[in-house]
Amino acid sequence: MNADFTTDELQFEIEVQEFLQNDFPAEYREKVDAGIRLSKNELVRWQKILYKKGWAAPTWPAEHGGTGWTATQKHIFATEMALIGAPEPVPFGMKMVAPVIMAYGSDEQKQRFLPDILESNVWWCQGYSEPNSGSDLASLKTSAVRDGDEYVVNGNKTWNTYGQYADWIFCLVRTDTGVKKQEGISFLLIDMKTPGITLKPIVLLDGHAEVNEVFFDDVRVPASNLIGEENKGWTYAKVLLTHERTNISGVPRGKRRLAALKRLAGNTDDGFGNTMLANAAFRTKLAEVEIELQALEYSELRTLAALSVGKAPGPESSILKIVGTELAQEMDELFVDLAGYNCLPFVPEQFEEGFQGDAIGPGNTAAAALTYFNNRKLSIFGGSNEIQRNIISKAVLGL
Amino acid sequence: MDFSNTEEQQMLQESVQKFVQKSYDFDTRNQIMASEKGFSQENWDLFAELGWLTVPFREEDGGFGGSAVDLAVMMEEFGKAMLVEPFIASAVLSGGVISEQGSAQQKAEILPKIMEGKLQLACAYAEQGSRFNLAHIKTSATVTGDTVVLNGSKTAVLNGSNAEILLVLARESGAATDSEGISVFMVDAASTGVTIRAFANVDGKKSAEISLKDVSVPVIQRLGASGSALQALQDSVDRATLAVSAEAVGAMESLLRKTVEYSKTRKQFGTAIGTFQALQHRMADMFIECQLARSIVIMAAMKLDGGDDATEKTKSVSAAKSRIGKAIQKVGQEAIQIHGGIGMTEELDVGHLFKSITAAEIMFGNTDFHTQRFASH
């Protein structure tokens, strides 16, 4: 048993580090450090830099323009990206709809959609959840009725991230109401410019509208936008959800945030002439987080080792999702702890692009509470942690 | 032994409940928060008329009696509806400092105006770097003849932007964390050299950062003797800590009730999610947390009202704040998790209750601070 990288893998690690040092724009790095959101244009520019290098799609096979990397190479790349603070590609095109198109789309659909995802020319968003179908996703009601060469779509979707920027949406729609709920679902690709689609932004607790509700009112969609067979959408959707859960542990990002916590603690007065890094209670909590992170990292490496000998990601990825998200939320609590009074002001606009005023409080400590609020989503989305525990109980423990 | 409310306390509680029911629903609160002042003067006048503003004050100061239990009973109801009016900042904290530290003449001049709802105050003590240590004060007070000149910066000044009088804690002598040498001055908020940056906190209450540059104040505006203000500040902050803790108990009660209700109506997999045992146990744990939080706040209120063992009082306030901090995280996070995405939206009151109690956890010292303060006394 060993957890070492091979010589080639070490060489690859250096190559990735050098590339990121040189090509990840310094101004983006500053923004990420200051807790300011990168705009769509900035994310696209970064994605195009990766595309030029041939590294836009680490999770794709080479035949579609992906890197064709091994599981370990993907892991190294994801780690180095997170350590430097480089944003991952917005997942809805690259990591969610693309694998479904590759596996179940027609050749025409592959040629039509994949290159633009790879080059970041077209942005996608997801149309899965509905107001009454969250954890029980298969109960979804948005309907698509066949009318000649078209489907007529009616209903509404919610928790649609970045819908305001998206060109296309992939949707789960009901095409048969007379069968078991999982058997009447189809997977449909819809152009966001189609008449009858309206978006309603949802403002979250951090004051930012990153999600939307999407309404479909007699939206006519060409039948050629159906993926695979009608009523087989649930099978395709499950593939997508498995991909959504890989890399969700967030270990490298956790390491980066842990380092930031330590730096911040070293710069935060305890009010009694010392810094918070010398505060026994705080040190203990930092240590607990670091230990948990190590346990999570080695859990991920064990999963990775299994993947690299050809095993499919199984229900074990639920462990990574649960522990990874809950650990990230614990770190949010530590940032709030350090910020103290400085995170009480609710001035969300200071973390938006183009804010001109003075920030409140030193550094980005004022962001701590907003991040704490926003990251409560981590244990809710991507299959809530309750659903993940159900998967473990059923699929692993056989209960 | 009797833990039931007295008739007076019951009347006070019902009077707040009636007000909330009639004039403080969630939409009204949002409108108040969006207004320029960030609180309703009309409500404030009504609070005065109903006698609520007298509750924190002793009888000899013209108040209702100054009982901490009375205060807790009232604050719990405030917390349920997340009132944003500056009751703690103006009446409990600032009023407390004047009541503890002011001369008879100063008290006679200021306290009736507070109780009549005619004067807004704010207490400016915290600074960058002071964290939760009240004695950490760098703002300087230099006395020349009968004038004092103040220089420094204050942070987290609750009600700072609406106050007509700022109580500024400043150091006349000693090093940054000495307990001696701190004085408190009544400063007209419109004085030359006072710059106020206003904002709302995550709980919707107005707060401010205030800088003082060569602010001249007559020495007679000092409350009490030179360098002797820390104890009065500490005692008033302790009462404000109790008040914010009781408010959080009320807010947690609302969160629990709303979460249980939601779990009975939200259907997934063909059944109400409240029928899942995994969620039932977690809501049972939320209930336990709410009960323990209420118990320890009652304990602290009773200890503040009885006896004169100062250490005992300090410890009981810190015990309450520490324990409710733990409850706040548990109850707040579970309420959001059980609601799912909808709990994270601005349009539902549940998220705002979560934000309110998160602010309460930090206000006047967070959980770790009070655990350590408990241990060191």
- List the CATH number of the domain containing A357: 1.20.140.10
End of a domain among A200, A232, A264?
A: A232
Q: Who has greater pLDDT, B26 or A36? A: B26
Calculate the CA B220 to chain-centre distance: 28
- The number of domains in chain A is 3
Chain A contact present for B74, CB below 8 A: no
Q: What average pLDDT score do residues A188-208 get?
A: 96
pLDDT band at A312 (very low <50, low <70, confident <90, very high): low
B346 touches chain A (CB under 8 A): yes
Q: Which residues of chain B have a CB within 8 Å of the CB of A376?
A: 333, 336-337, 343-344
A2 within some domain: no
Please indicate, yes or no, whether residues A278 and A382 belong to a single structural domain of this protein.
yes
Query: Do the Cβ atoms of B344 and A204 come within 8 Å?
Result: yes
A292 by DSSP, 3-state: which? helix
CA B310 to chain centre: 21
pLDDT in tens, B91-129: 999 999 999 999 999 999 999 999 999 999 999 999 999
State the residue range of the domain holding A356: 247-396
In this complex, is the C-beta atom of B377 within 8 Å of any C-beta atom belonging to chain A? Answer: no
Model confidence at A247: pLDDT above 70 = no
Q: Indicate the pLDDT class of residue A357, thresholds 50, 70 and 90.
A: confident
- The H-or-E segment that residue A212 falls in is strand A211-222
Q: Do A344 and B362 touch (CB under 8 A)?
A: yes
| Closest CB from B197, B202, B329 relative to A346 | B202
- B136, A271: Cβ pair inside 8 Å? yes
The separation between CA B235 and the C-alpha centre of its own chain, rounded to angstroms, equals: 13
Per cent of chain A over pLDDT 90 is 72
Over residues B259-309, the pLDDT tens digits come to 999 999 999 999 999 999 999 999 999 999 999 999 999 999 999 999 779
Nearest to A344 among B202, B268, B341 (CB): B202
φ and ψ of A252, to 5 deg? -65, -40
Strand partners, B200: B206
pLDDT of residue A165: 93
C-alpha A360: how far from chain center? 29
Q: Cα distance from B323 to chain A (closest Cα, Å)?
A: 15
Instruction: Specify whether A294 is located in the same domain as A387.
Output: yes
Residue A239 lies inside a defined structural domain of this protein: no
pLDDT at residue number A313: 64
CB contact under 8 A, B131 and A346: no
The sign of the CA dihedral A83, A88, A91, A94 is: negative
pLDDT at A244 over 60: no
Q: How far is B2 from chain A (nearest CA, A)?
A: 37
Task: Find, in chain A, the residue whose alpha carbon is nearest to that of B157.
Answer: A341
CB of B207 within 8 Å of a chain A CB? The answer is yes
Which chain A residues have a beta carbon less than 8 Å from that of B333?
329, 376
Residue A105 included in any domain:
no
* Domain presence at residue A110: no
C-beta of residue B66 within 8 angstroms of C-beta of residue B56: yes
A133 and A225 part of one domain: yes
Q: Check B199 against A347: CB less than 8 A apart.
A: yes
Q: Per the domain annotation, does A99 fall within a domain?
A: no
Residues B201, A345: C-beta atoms closer than 8 Å: yes
Query: At A72, is the pLDDT very low, low, confident or very high (cuts 50, 70, 90)?
Result: confident
Q: pLDDT of B187-223, one tens digit each?
A: 999 999 999 999 999 999 999 999 999 999 999 999 9
Most confident of A16-30, A34-48, B315-329: B315-329
CB contact under 8 A, B358 and A369: yes
Interface test with B, best of A211, A376, A387 (most B CBs within 10 A): A376
| Structure token pair of residue A145 | 């009725």
| Beta-strand pair A124-127/A168-174 | parallel
Same domain membership, residue A131 and residue A258: no
SS3 B289: helix
Tell me the domains of chain B and their CATH numbers: 7-119 (1.10.540.10), 122-227 (2.40.110.10), 231-375 (1.20.140.10)
Question: Quick check: A344 and B279 CB within 8 A?
Answer: no
Q: Are A228 and A257 contained in the same domain?
A: no
For the segment B54-68, the average pLDDT, to the nearest whole number, is 95
Partners of residue A362 in chain B, C-beta under 8 Å: 128
DSSP state, residue A39: P
Query: In Å, how far is A134's CA from the nearest CA of chain B?
Result: 8
The residue out of A177, A207, A232 marking a domain boundary is A232
Question: What pLDDT, on a 0 to 100 scale, did the predictor assign at position A243?
Answer: 60
Which residues in chain B are contacts of A343 at CB distance < 8 A? 202, 362
Do A167 and A220 belong together in one domain?
A: yes
Instruction: From chain B, pick out residues whose CB is under 8 angstroms from the CB of A279.
Output: 368
- pLDDT top residue among A210 and B333: B333
Residue with tokens 């710069």: A267
Question: Which residues of chain A does B158 touch, with a Cβ-Cβ cutoff of 8 Å?
Answer: none
Query: pLDDT confidence of B250, banded at 50, 70, 90?
Result: very high
Q: A334-349: string of b/e by CB count within 10 Å (b at 16+)?
A: bbbbbbbbbbbbbbbe
- Reply yes or no on whether the pLDDT at A399 is more than 60: yes
For residue B301, which amino acid is it?
Answer: A
What confidence score (pLDDT) does residue A292 get? 97
Rg of chain A (C-alpha set): 22
Going by pLDDT thresholds of 50, 70 and 90, the confidence category of residue A31 is confident
Q: Quick check: B202 and A369 CB within 8 A?
A: yes
pLDDT at A245 over 60: no
Terminal CA-CA length for chain A: 31
Please report, for the domain that includes residue A222, its CATH number. Answer: 2.40.110.10
Query: Are both A306 and A256 inside the same structural domain?
Result: yes
- Cβ–Cβ below 8 Å for B344 and A376: yes
| Closest chain B CA to residue A282 | B368
Query: Catalytic residue numbers of A?
Result: 244
Shared domain for A194 and A259, answered yes or no, is no
Residues in B touching A340 (Cβ below 8 Å)? 131-132, 362, 366
Q: What is the pLDDT of residue A246?
A: 56
Nearest CA to CA, how far is B108 from chain A (Å)? Answer: 33
Residue A163 scores a pLDDT above 80: yes
Inter-chain contact B132–A271, Cβ cutoff 8 Å?
A: yes
Report the gap between the CA of A87 and the closest CA in chain B (Å). 24
B265 touches chain A (CB under 8 A): no
A71 & A168 share domain: no
Beta bridge partners of B165: B121, B188
Q: What is the pLDDT of residue A242?
A: 65
Whether residue A252 sits in one domain with residue A387: yes
- B200 contacts chain A (CB < 8 A): yes
Q: How far is B348 from chain A (nearest CA, A)?
A: 10
pLDDT of residue A151: 98
**Looking at residue A355, what is its pLDDT?**
76
- Phi, psi of A42, deg, nearest 5: -70, -40
CB within 8 Å: A269 and B130: yes
Residues 278-317 of B with CB under 8 A from A: 278-279
Mutate to test the interface with B, among A156, A344, A370 (most CBs of B within 10 A): A344
In chain B, the residue whose alpha carbon lies closest to the alpha carbon of A211 is B345
| For residues B43-64, average pLDDT | 96
Which of A209, A232, A255 is at the close of a domain?
A: A232
Residue A108 is assigned to a structural domain of this protein: no
SS3 labels along A13-43? HHHHHHHHHHHCCHHHHHHHHHCCCCCHHHH
The verdict on a CB contact (< 8 Å) between B368 and A337 is yes
Residues 51-70 of B with CB under 8 A from A: none
Q: Please give the pLDDT value at position A34.
A: 77
Chain B residues in contact with A386 by the CB 8 A cut-off are: 278-279
The token pair at B248 is 């959080």
Q: So what's the pLDDT on residue A2?
A: 74
Say whether residue B126 is in contact with chain A using an 8 A CB cutoff: yes
Q: Is the same domain home to A251 and A228?
A: no
Question: What pLDDT score does B289 carry?
Answer: 98
* Total H helices, total E strands in chain A: 13, 8
Q: Is B277 on the interface with A (CB under 8 A)?
A: no
The token pair at A209 is 């509208």
- Does A241 fall in a domain? no
pTM of the model: 0.95
- A178 and A269 together in one domain: no
The residue ranges of DSSP E strands in B59-100, in sequence order, are: none
Q: Looking at residues A129-145, what average pLDDT do you find?
A: 94
- The sign one gets for the Cα dihedral B167, B172, B174, B179 is negative
